[in-house]
Amino acid sequence: MIVRQTPDGVEVLAPAKLNLFLEILGKRPDGYHEIETLMVAVNLHDRLTFADDPSGAVTLACDDPRLPTDRSNLVVMAAERLKTSTGSSKGATITLNKVIPAEAGLAGGSSDAAATLVGLDRLWGLNTSVDQLGSMAAEVGSDVAFFLQGPAAICRGRGEQVEPLSLKSSLHFVLVCPPVGVSTADVYRSLTPPERPRSIGAVIEALDHGGPAALGRSLFNRLQPTAETIRPALTRVRDALAELSHDLEFSPPLLEGHLMSGSGSAYFGLARDLNAANLAAERLETLGLGSVRVITCGP
């Protein structure tokens, strides 16, 4: 997350996330699923601007007409949670410029909510502690707290328990966002939790001590088969990334591994380096699978 002071207020760049590992440990009594996931923030950003409103009202404008701008939007929910928790009577006009696709497993809405907590806290001069903001974030949504910690973390519970990790080097990905989305609720509703959940240990070890090849072998997402059953057309994206992971024209292959992020519908390929990511993107752009981008995580 990048926060900037502007002449009119505050600007925040809210990053997308990728799940490098996602396992379902079971279903909770409250209806949510217990998860264990390794997430990283990447340089694909929504942009939010915050300006003071002396009336005390909070209003949201968005350049994507498909998104609501009322209290059902996580941005407005986060703003109201911050006001209630701190007792602030201040207001703001919020402008959201969307870049992160919706229903793609990239947590754009959650990232926007985290950006709102940080941006309004700065705009209003509240100086709220990180722990307090984290508690508010957990109340707003499952993935929101991650974006207050980034750029990498293990998240547990329903996603609100965040254990930050450091990244020793940059990771380069090619991201494919198909034109269709997948409902997170539908995926979880159709999912059967495993009897023996997979351990997260291998992917943490690869992130700490291995290179892209070791990390690529450790990628895992329990939700992917279910999402692909709901949207069978998505397997075209999976198969195209798999081909680039085994293309004999390149040695080593352009991609070290590939995965769906979250509940989909976006997929990513982990490239051996930035040049390989750019070459993979050129190949994928010719296939008509959706929007293709090269993205990076890390220092």
CA distance 78 to 88: 13
Q: H-helix or E-strand containing 138?
A: helix 130-140
CA distance 272 to 285: 19
Mark whether 17 is an active-site residue: yes
Query: In which order are the strands placed within the sheet that holds 291-297?
Result: 255-260, 267-271, 171-177, 291-297
Residue 226, both tokens: 């279910």
CA distance 108 to 32: 20
Tally DSSP H helices, then E strands, for the chain: 9, 12
**Candidate list 46, 112, 121, 143, residue with the active-site label:** 143
Q: Are 168 and 156 in contact (CB under 8 A)?
A: no
Task: Report helix, strand or coil for 127.
Answer: coil
Q: H-helix or E-strand containing 280?
A: helix 274-285
Question: Could you tell me whether strands 152-157 and 291-297 are parallel, antiparallel, or unpaired per DSSP bridges?
Answer: unpaired
Closest CA to 71 of 79, 115, 99: 79
**Candidate list 8, 17, 53, 63, residue with the active-site label:** 17
Amino acid at 237: V
Mark whether 247 is an active-site residue: no
Residue 55: count other Cβ atoms within 10 Å of its Cβ. Answer: 10
Q: Extract the runs of DSSP E, i.e. beta strands, from the chain.
A: 2-6, 9-27, 33-53, 58-62, 91-97, 152-157, 161-165, 171-177, 220-221, 255-260, 267-271, 291-297
Residues labelled catalytic: 17, 143
